[in-house]
Structure 1
Amino acid sequence: MTTAVEHYDRFLAEHYTWMLGGDMPALAAAQRAYLAGLGVGDDPAGPLAVDLGCGPGHSSLALAGLGFDPVLAVDLSRPLLDEVAAHAVGVPAVEPVHADLRAVLRDRVGPGGAGVVVCLGDTLTHLPTRGDVAALLGGIRAALAPGGLAVLAYRDLTEPLTGTERFLPVRATEDRIMTCFLEYPEDYDDYTVVVHDLLHTRGGPADGWTLRKSSYRKLRISHAWVLGQCRAAGLRVTEERVGPGGMRTVVLRHATGSWGR
């Protein structure tokens, strides 16, 4: 069993942009429109944005496109940060940062230094423990300026899938097929789910398929629990959405700040 970082560095990172659709400018444009629709960029509380678990950088580019400068693109995967740097050539606002999510807000931002913090793409479930999630939410609250905005996106994996429902298609093209399989082991009770990523690739139409596979554990955190932890941290929930694949998006404000909503 690998850690989340090992899984991304050794297996997933090189395919991550392809999994999202493959066209980084289009991905960044779509993310910019989505974040703008959530109110990101409207009367920002400050120019600094932080993208926690930035992946290949589409959200960081979107934040820069919304006028934030600088944008700290934070991840522990060096291959993904290298990709961010390549995509951000000509976008000096985006700064790739190799750092642990649990420390970067304290070390690089400080109290009240950020206008917006986003943590998207199921990044919360990659943290080791639920205590780490709660601590990160407290760190986000501390880092936000009064009236600052936070956006979280994560999946509630607390209800086990059964049978063939555990097989989740990710993407398929003529040379790559990605499938995810979820396993709910008894050894960790209701605390984690084991994610098995299965990738079939081939060099051309006449070539055979090659299978690569890798597994890691993700946290099972309920939507109700996350909302409770947000409120306990001093973050006010202003909007909730449910998207494809059960991805939940929560928009939050610094609870002691002012806002026009």
Structure 2
Amino acid sequence: MTTPPEHYDRLLAAHYTWMLGSDIHANARDQAELLRRLGVQSEADEDAAIDLGSGPGPQTLALAHLGFSSVTAVDTSRALLDELAGHAKTAGVADVVRTLHADLRDALPRVAGPATAAVIVCMGDTLTHLPGPADVRALLKDMTHALRPGGHVVVTYRDLTGELRGEGRFLPVRSTEDRLLTCFLEYVDDDTVMVHDLLHTRTEGEWHLQVGSYPKLRLAADWLTDEALRAGLEVRHSAVGPRGMRVLHAVKPVEGPITPHA
């Protein structure tokens, strides 16, 4: 089975910014506005932010524009991190941004000491790329450990627990005159859906097809909220946000434990 990092390296990384609409800086402004509405902002001169699954950098740039003194971007794709570095230079925030080519599951202890991070984001459906629910639980615990009291976690993801049927499983991603990306979903079990990508590109008047598949987790909103509570976070917001993505916003309490749902 192709893993999500392998699928991105082989197929999607070269087209990811195009998938987002081609203007990474406009996308970054949208992400900054979302974070601002959630109350995420720098409050001190040495506030550090971490972007898990940064891709080409819309969230990383957003955090830099929100005033964080350092933003660490973590991704499994070297190509996307290199692209991000170029965008950071164009945006004038290269001195704030640093990149780390690493697996999300072991990155936090490498980039943040206990109770040091002001904000950790894991956005753009990155969380569903983890191998299983146990990995999500472990990452939430690592986030809580790395956050300072009062620090923020923001996650955006697609809730794939509702099964689409028939033609509804075919989802257009984006199309322009020289590129067309469509995917369809195959439901494997209660935890996993296989995403099959069909990418058509036109070169010198001829269309070429590339295909690839990778697994995604089916994360229910109530389950993720409960796991965040069990990890010691206070959930402040969980709802459908822009482009149909669910948004989870949580904060590490300043004092006292959080009691999880039964």
| 1:3-42 map, 5 Å | 3-41=3-41
Q: Counterpart amino acid of 1:81?
A: L
Task: Name the TM-score, length of structure 2 as normaliser.
Answer: 0.92
For 1:80-102, what per-residue CA distance to the aligned partner results, in whole angstroms no more than 9, with x for missing partners?
11111111124210111111211
Q: Which moved more, 1:167-176 or 1:88-97?
A: 88-97
1:191 corresponds to? 191
| 1:157-196 map, 5 Å | 157-185=160-188, 189-196=189-196
2:113 corresponds to? 110
Judge conservation of contact 1:117–1:151 (CA < 8 Å) in 2: yes
- Which residue, out of 234, 240, 243, partners 1:242? 240
CA–CA distance in structure 1, aligned partners of residues 229 and 44 of structure 2? 21
| 1:1-261 map, 5 Å | 1-41=1-41, 43=43, 47-89=47-89, 90-91=92-93, 92-185=95-188, 189-203=189-203, 207-257=205-255
For 1:196-233, what per-residue CA distance to the aligned partner results, in whole angstroms no more than 9, with x for missing partners?
111111125xx132111110011111111100000000
Aligned partner of residue 156 in structure 1, secondary structure: coil
How far the C-alpha of 1:244 sits from its partner, in A, is 4.6
Task: Name the TM-score, length of structure 1 as normaliser.
Answer: 0.92
For 1:5-25, what per-residue CA distance to the aligned partner results, in whole angstroms no more than 9, with x for missing partners?
010011000100000010122
How far the C-alpha of 1:40 sits from its partner, in A, is 1.0
Judge conservation of contact 2:152–2:249 (CA < 8 Å) in 1: yes
Q: How many residues align?
A: 253
Aligned partner of residue 202 in structure 1, secondary structure: strand
Q: Which moved more, 1:166-175 or 1:102-111?
A: 102-111
Judge conservation of contact 2:42–2:67 (CA < 8 Å) in 1: no
CA–CA distance in structure 2, aligned partners of residues 59 and 244 of structure 1? 14
Structure 1 unaligned runs (5+)? none
CA–CA distance in structure 1, aligned partners of residues 235 and 2 of structure 2? 34
Structure 2 unaligned runs (5+)? 257-262
CA–CA distance in structure 2, aligned partners of residues 243 and 211 of structure 1? 32
Q: Counterpart amino acid of 2:149?
A: P
Q: Counterpart amino acid of 2:24?
A: M
Aligned partner of residue 64 in structure 1, secondary structure: helix
